[in-house]
Amino acid sequence: MKILTQSTPCVLTIGKFEGIHLGHQALLAEVTHKAATLGIASAAMVFDPHPYAFLKDSHYAPLFTNEERHHILKNTNLDYLIIYPFTEILTKMPPEDFCKIIFETYQAKLLIVGENYRFGSGRTGDTALLHKQAATYGAKLQIVPMTTTATDKISTSHIRRLLSDSKIKETQMLLGFRFFIFGIVSAGKQLGRSLGFPTLNIYPSQEKLLPPDGVYSTMVTVNGTCYRGITNIGLRPTVNSTSTVRSVETHLPDYYGDSLYGEHIKVELLEFIRPERKFDSVEELRIQIAKDIMCIQTYGFANCN
């Protein structure tokens, strides 16, 4: 998948694609299928910054950073990604003008969107308008129904609620993959190493939603190799800490190699173990870490992406 810098005839879809959950994946699969049938490129348009952050809450933290979202989209077989700037001009743009961008500037021959898609100034554009505009430009529109589970519709807002309740397995079921965190390993306070449990410390962007502070069983990818891990997310209160920056601190029981400082790693959450807490002594902390490691269950690591 490449970033589209020069327009080309394509099958296009548009959306925030914050979680790229099972519903999004079904939509993208239809885009790539139709593109292959028509013999033209497949493309998805996303916005930066996140529309909700721009319009309502500047501190809004999406499920995945732009880098993480790009990583997920690479596995969808899309040919191109269009990153369109979300600005004040766009929010005031008449829907007909945005259609010109879609069908003329980016040469969409087929536009595929969800059934509730709205766009343009005041969200006045809808699928009925898209049908008329597509015909004007000699293009077509296809509507894809919302994907559902046995009990509920799949939505980013629902996934966010599950993650915020530490419901990791339920989050994975709706995403269709394990919720993960990218980061570069940085030096920490070396407390874990002094206790016999060296850790990999990463500091995720504040522009990313994290689950509640606590300890999680994880799977960590380092240089293409997967390791089981025990991960603490939070302020690392330990014994006498006064940290105000949330971190993701992981111990790999099965890793015995060299230092991994500066390495880019992927931490995938498997299960919530316990809340984060402060300990009365270093020895109490050491005993608890040993207990946490024993809680790690065996997972199949063949599906490491």
Integer Cα distance of 136 and 46 in angstroms: 24
User: Measuring CA to CA, how many Å separate 149 from each of 56, 169, 273?
Assistant: 29, 15, 26
Identify the burial level of 131 via C-beta atoms within 10 angstroms of its C-beta, where 0-12 means exposed, 13-18 middle and 19 or more buried.
middle
Catalytic hit among 249, 263, 271, 283:
249
Other C-beta atoms closer than 10 Å to the C-beta of 136 total 13
Q: Check residue 305 and report its DSSP letter.
A: -
Alpha-carbon distance of 91 to 88, in angstroms, equals 5
Reply yes or no on whether 263 is catalytic. no
Cβ contact 113:131 at 8 Å:
no
Beta strands in 66-167 (DSSP E): 80-85, 108-114, 140-144
Pairing status of strand 214-222 against strand 264-275: antiparallel
Give the active site residues. 249
